[in-house]
Each structure stands twice: as structure tokens, then as C-alpha cells.
């Protein structure tokens, strides 16, 4: 065990001292914190520039059918201005212009928007939606219904806002967010994918490098091949866990710092209307205070809904599924590194390992939409896909027995996989200059048992 400890120490200290480790340890928390802060900040900004659009209607049927918005102002011009617009619309103070060339009921394609730069999706949708609403009114008017305008206005004013409430065991209620839960599921699933792929590949590269430089011949004169493989796998796993812990700690520090910057008293109001009053009282009613108030509202809203997610439980589950999933794949990556002489020969052996990881991402996408579906359930039990798929399901608080069953299957699987990979590693680590096939690998596995 002392020999394995020395290998673990060597692998760990060598990698944590690299600049790439330090850079990623800083960038990761900033990205995580940005996921909480950026939506609130963007929602509080009104930085969209005002656009002026000219409209020419050859049919003269759609006058003022396109309404102005806060950031889009439409000016209706006579068709005699069309030639001048085509050559000089920028100098005339317009960012774009719209031509309606025919009756839209007969020719729905008779609307064109001209601009020097690509038209934004907001502008295109606004023009289309307003014209469609106008045509709907015209069609309804053909039925000679009394009070039609009032009826349409009443229909259009109907809005429904759906809130999601999560019930606790004692009947407590918390406002949750399907969107935030999905984001958490995506983040945890992608982290598993990212860490397993990145650090599993590091195991393979480390083995290949030592094998190519013939350093391994010196090392295994002092330690057994299986000890070398396990020391390398565990050492790199500790590097990954260290980086993840740094991410968690720094992310909490950054978000807490932002929380105290927005709420100096350290308390976050539970009601949005109270928060507006507090911020307005502290900052005044000027434009800057309004911006701060908007940011505070959005930040409070996001943080309140985030509390409904079992972050602590998700992080603990992440540790298990990362460690077990990493050990499952790292053993296979180590075996591949022992089989090949350089990375260019790794493709045929690495692809079967990567394919389940890629498949896991696609299944996880289905799990985001329906975490209780049959496909999400079964692929969260299959050991080669369960680390990613299960982490995509856990934020949705699935039944605990499913989590425990998946953990048990994954534990048995990584023990078997490590044992299987170790038998191949013992023979392959000293093989040089020979073209390896799967049949040859199977022979090594059988010979190792003798």
C-alpha cells in the first residue's frame, strides 16, 4: 500500500502544479457563478438600441397594422418614397424598411424586410405577428359581430402565469423553477461527462508516455503493474476531486459576495414587492436605483427558486457517481494506454469507450424532459451510462430506491471493470512494436489469470 501511496502522491502533485490546473480552478467558479448572476443581470438591463423602420404598403390596407414597441419605431411612408429608400434609407435615419407589395390574404409572401445587416428575430416576429393579428381581425369583421374590437381586446388581455410549488414532507411549500432544475441537471450531467472524459484520457496519456519513454520498465521493477495502474487512477481522481471542490468553494464565495453586495444586511427578502421598497428607499428613485432594483429583484427571484433544489444532496450524489464512473472508465483507459505504443493508434480502442459517454448525453436530454420515463430509468441503471443519466435525473428528486440501486450496480461494475482492465494492463504494459487486435487483448486477459 505504501508503494501505491507514493504513486498517488506523484500523480497528484505533478498535475496540481500545472498551470492548466490553476487556470481551470479559477475559470470554473466564474462560470458557475455566472449561471446565477448573469440571468438576473441580463434581465435587469434595457440596453437594446432603438430601431427605426420605414414601412411602405402598396395595397394601402394595412396602415398602422404594425405597432411601435419600446425599441422598434415604425414610420409609414407613401410608395413614392420606395426608390429613394432603396438607395438612401440609412441617410434618411432608418435601420431597415418593410415593403408590403400585395394583399396578404391572397399572397402571404408579399412582405419583405430590407436591411444592410441581418434582421433580428425579434423584428421579424413582431412584423409577422402584428400583420397576422390584423388579418385575423379583418376575417372576424367579415362575420359582422357587434362589439368585435372589445371582444378581441378582452381575449388578448387574457394571460396565465404558471408557478411551480414544491411540497415538503411536513406540508411546507417552496416555489420551485423547472428551468433552474433543468439547468442544475444539465450542469451535473455535463460535469460528469467532462471530468470522466478529460481525466480518463489523462490516465491513458500518462500510461502511453511512460510506456513510450520506457520509464515503466524501471517503475515496475519496484511495484507491481496493478499497483502502478491503481496508483495512477486514484491519483488523477484526487486531482479531479480537488478541482471540483475548489470550484464549489469559490463559487459559493463569489455568489455570497454578490448576495451581500446586493443586500448589505445579508438577508434576502422573500417577497419581490418588499425588495422593491427596500432598494428604492436605500437608493432613491433615480435611473441608477431602478437598474439596481431590477437586478436585485431578478437575483432574489433566482436565489429563492434555487433553494428548492437539493444542492447538497446533488453534490454528494455527484461525488459518488463521478468517483464510480471515473473508476469504471479510467481502468479501461489505462488498459488502452497499456495496449498501444502511441496516441495515434488509440482510435480503434478508445471509440468503444467514448460511445457510451456520447450516448449518455443524448439520453440525458430525454431525461431533462421526463426524468421518470422508461428510457431515462433503464439507462440510469446501465453502468456505462448511469453516471451521466442519473445525475440528469437526481435534481428532479426521483425515488431514493432508484438512486441506491443505480449506485449498487455501478459499484459492482467498476470493481469488475478494474479487475478486467488490470489483467490486460499487466501484460500490455511491457509489449512494444506489435500490432494489437481485440483477439490479442483477449489472450492477454486469459494469460494473466495463469
- The CATH number of the domain where 60 resides is what? 3.40.190.10
- Residue 163 falls inside a structural domain: no
pLDDT higher at 66 or 449: 66
Domain assignment present for 127: yes
52 close to 275: Cβ distance less than 8 angstroms: no
Q: Give me the domain span that covers residue 77.
A: 51-156
Residues 304 and 350 in one domain: yes
- Domain for residue 299, yes or no? yes
Do 393 and 296 lie in a common domain? yes
Residues 227 and 151 grouped into a single domain: no
| Domain annotation covers residue 165 | no
**Least confident range of 289-303, 344-358, 373-387:** 289-303
Distance CA 174, CA 161 (A): 17
> Collapsing DSSP states into helix, strand and coil, what is residue 123?
helix
| Same domain membership, residue 145 and residue 111 | yes
Residues 389/376, Cβ–Cβ less than 8 Å? yes
Residue 282, C-beta contacts closer than 8 angstroms, at least 6 positions apart: none
Question: What pLDDT score does 279 carry?
Answer: 44
- Residues 144 and 207 reside in one and the same domain: no
Answer yes or no: are the C-beta atoms of 113 and 124 closer than 8 Å: yes
Q: Give the predicted TM-score (pTM) of the model.
A: 0.60
Higher pLDDT, 355 or 182: 355
User: Rg for the chain (alpha carbons), in Å?
Assistant: 31
CB atoms within 10 A of CB 81: 15
239 and 93 together in one domain: no
Out of 156, 189, 208, pick the residue that ends a domain: 156
CA-angle at 77, arms to 76 and 81, nearest 5°: 155
pLDDT value of residue 409: 94
Q: At what angle do helices 347-369 and 178-212 cross, to 10 degrees?
A: 170
Predicted local distance difference test score (pLDDT) of residue 39: 60
Q: Look over the chain and give the mean of its residue pLDDT values, rounded to a whole number.
A: 77
More confident residue, 351 or 155: 351
Tell me how far apart the alpha carbons of residues 298 and 280 are, in angstroms, rounded to a whole number.
Answer: 15
Inside any domain, residue 129: yes
- My answer on whether 58 and 32 are in the same domain is no
Residues 99 and 127 in one domain: yes
Number of domains in the chain: 2
Question: How do residues 188-204 score in pLDDT, each as one tens digit?
Answer: 888 888 888 888 888 88
**3-31 exposure pattern, b = at least 16 Cβ within 10 A, e = fewer:** ebeebbeebbeebeeeeeeeeebeebbee
Answer yes or no: do 209 and 278 share one domain. yes
| Residue 318 within any structural domain of the chain | yes
**Statement to judge: residues 18 and 59 lie in one domain:** no
Determine which helix (DSSP H) or strand (DSSP E) holds 155, and give its type and residue range: helix 148-156
| Residue 171 within any structural domain of the chain | no
Whether residue 137 lies inside any domain: the answer is yes
Task: Output DSSP code: residue 118.
Answer: P
Which of the four pLDDT bands, split at 50, 70 and 90, describes residue 174? low
The DSSP-derived string for 400-438 is: HHHHHHHHHHHHHHHHHHHHHHHHHHHHHTT--S----H
Give the end of a domain, one of 156, 191, 216: 156
Q: How far apart are CA 445 and CA 94, in angstroms?
A: 74
Q: Let me know: does 417 contact 384? Beta carbons within 8 Å.
A: no
- Over residues 275-330, the pLDDT tens digits come to 444 444 444 444 444 445 555 555 555 555 555 556 677 778 888 998 899 888 98
Does residue 99 sit in the same domain as residue 245? Answer: no
Same domain, 227 and 366: yes
Give 268-321 as a DSSP string: --SSHHHHHHHHHHHH-SSHHHHHHHHHHHHHHHHHHHHTTS-HHHHHHHHHHH
Amino acid at each position: 500500500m505504501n508503494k501505491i501511496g507514493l504513486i498517488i502522491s506523484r500523480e497528484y502533485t505533478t498535475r496540481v502544479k500545472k498551470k492548466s490546473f490553476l487556470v481551470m480552478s479559477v475559470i470554473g467558479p466564474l462560470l458557475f457563478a455566472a449561471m446565477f448572476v448573469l440571468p438576473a443581470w441580463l434581465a435587469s438591463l434595457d440596453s437594446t438600441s432603438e430601431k427605426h423602420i420605414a414601412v411602405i404598403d402598396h395595397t394601402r390596407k394595412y396602415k398602422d397594422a404594425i405597432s411601435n414597441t419600446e425599441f422598434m419605431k415604425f414610420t409609414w411612408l407613401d410608395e413614392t418614397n420606395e426608390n429613394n429608400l432603396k438607395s438612401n434609407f440609412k441617410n434618411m435615419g432608418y435601420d431597415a424598411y418593410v415593403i408590403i407589395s400585395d394583399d396578404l390574404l391572397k399572397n402571404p409572401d408579399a412582405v419583405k424586410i430590407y436591411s444592410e445587416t441581418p434582421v433580428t428575430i425579434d423584428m421579424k416576429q413582431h412584423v409577422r405577428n402584428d400583420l397576422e393579428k390584423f388579418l385575423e381581425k379583418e376575417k372576424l369583421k367579415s362575420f359582422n359581430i357587434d362589439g368585435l374590437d372589445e371582444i378581441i381586446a378582452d381575449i388578448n388581455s387574457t394571460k396565465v402565469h404558471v408557478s411551480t410549488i414544491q411540497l415538503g414532507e411536513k406540508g411546507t411549500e417552496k416555489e420551485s423553477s423547472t428551468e433552474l432544475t433543468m439547468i442544475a441537471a444539465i450542469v451535473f450531467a455535463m460535469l460528469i461527462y467532462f471530468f470522466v472524459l478529460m481525466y480518463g484520457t489523462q490516465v491513458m496519456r500518462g500510461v502511453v508516455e511512460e510506456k513510450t519513454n520506457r520509464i515503466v520498465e524501471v517503475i515496475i521493477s519496484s511495484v507491481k503493474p496493478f499497483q502502478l495502474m491503481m496508483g495512477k487512477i486514484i491519483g488523477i481522481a484526487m486531482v479531479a476531486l480537488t478541482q471540483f471542490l475548489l470550484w464549489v468553494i469559490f463559487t459559493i464565495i463569489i455568489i455570497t459576495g454578490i448576495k451581500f453586495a446586493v443586500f448589505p444586511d445579508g438577508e434576502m427578502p422573500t417577497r419581490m414587492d418588499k425588495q422593491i421598497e427596500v432598494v428604492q428607499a436605500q437608493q432613491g428613485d433615480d435611473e441608477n436605483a431602478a437598474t439596481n432594483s431590477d437586478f436585485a429583484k431578478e437575483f432574489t427571484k433566482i436565489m429563492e427558486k434555487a433553494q428548492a433544489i437539493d444542492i447538497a444532496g446533488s453534490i454528494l450524489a455527484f461525488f459518488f457517481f463521478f468517483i464510480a464512473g471515473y473508476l469504471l472508465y479510467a481502468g479501461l483507459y489505462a488498459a488502452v494506454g497499456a495496449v498501444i505504443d502511441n496516441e495515434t493508434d488509440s482510435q480503434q480502442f478508445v471509440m468503444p469507450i467514448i460511445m457510451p459517454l456520447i450516448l449518455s448525453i443524448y439520453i440525458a436530454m430525454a431525461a431533462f424532459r421526463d426524468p421518470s420515463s422508461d428510457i431515462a430509468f433503464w439507462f440510469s441503471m446501465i453502468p456505462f451510462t448511469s453516471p451521466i443519466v442519473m445525475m440528469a435525473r437526481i435534481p428532479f428528486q426521483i425515488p431514493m430506491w432508484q438512486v441506491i440501486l443505480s449506485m449498487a450496480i455501478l459499484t459492482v461494475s467498476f470493481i469488475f471493470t478494474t479487475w478486467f482492465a488490470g489483467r490486460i494492463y499487466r501484460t500490455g504494459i511491457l509489449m512494444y512494436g506489435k500490432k494489437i487486435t481485440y483477439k490479442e487483448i483477449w489472450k492477454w486477459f486469459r494469460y494473466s489469470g495463469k
